[in-house]
Structure 1
Amino acid sequence: MRSEVDVTAGELVVRAREGNAAAWNALVERYTPMLWSVARSRGLAGPAAEDAVQATWLRLVQRIDTLWEPESVGGWLATVCRNECHALFDAPFAPPPRPPGDDADPAPGPEIRSVDRDRLERLAAALRAMPERCRTLLRMLASSATYTEVSAALDLPVGSVGPIRARCLRRLRGSLDE
């Protein structure tokens, strides 16, 4: 039998569908560096990039049985990762990206500073209204803590940090939208 390194992507997908752990591991080993590159190319780093990569793998787990062209799993993963990155940028408090070639003076005027201050005050109030676990988790991730560190501090499985973070951010967005 060939080693997992010599097996095509399509064969790995078929084996992973059948529950072959070695095939899953080979897929993860083969495509995770590419997913990190996609996340970084979209401007994500640290926990946000981890969320995008983890969510991409979760989508494959959920949809592996529906892939029509298993040999195209690499392109499928890249597309899903780009979509996950885009979803992470839809936060109401994220600054809009600057258009290419925009050489405007980045120093904000008093109106912009006032709007920014109001936005920060609303964000702080919304954070104070959240459950303690969400506040702690978001605060730790904002200070560049790793998922492993958050997991240990909050006594959570590492794999649940990303989904809990997503729920906390959805709750935060909802309270900001009100």
Structure 2
Amino acid sequence: MADDPSVVALVIEARDGSQLAWNAIVDRYAPLVWAIGRRHDLGRPDIDDVGQSVWLKLVEHLADIRDPAALPGWIATTTRNECLRVLRTSRSREQAEHRADPEPYAEGGFAEIEQELERVQRQAALRSAFRELRPRCQELLSQLFKEQRPAYRDISATLGMKIGSIGPSRERCLSELRRCPALAVLIEGEGAGATREARRR
């Protein structure tokens, strides 16, 4: 996946002392920490413990991360190490060593974590791009992509739009969304990855 410029910006701002940037980093990657914790069969209290340790270590080592774009991988690796620490503490050493055995990951564990990381990055890019849209597009797309989407007549009444203009407006807004820098980088990276995969075949 291509580097996400918003991650780089957040790391730089957090290094400079921005609390808003720090909060954004935690909000963005907390789901990744949770997913890795669940991968290790940890319960909520243990995952909370892992999360606190991960964010504390990030505070301590943020300045040591040479490449800001490497932050997601750093968080994933640190979270896994903290999960193993919790397992060693709460279970017998034999159980912990069994869980630490890399073989289960060779059968797909690392791939699952990578997929979760990519999912988190996609969601973050989409949220960032959505915030760049015109308010009118944000309102329309929010209505159209609700879990239980309202009928067009209800959307028309809520937004004061003609029913016949909803479809064309949706396409224009989606096109605008795809052109947003945060999402454009993601789309470009996924396209390049697909091309490389096709060449390997």
Greater gyration radius:
2
Which of the pair has the greater relative contact order for Cα pairs under 8 Å at 6+ separation? 2
Between Structure 1 and Structure 2, the one with more helix by share is 2
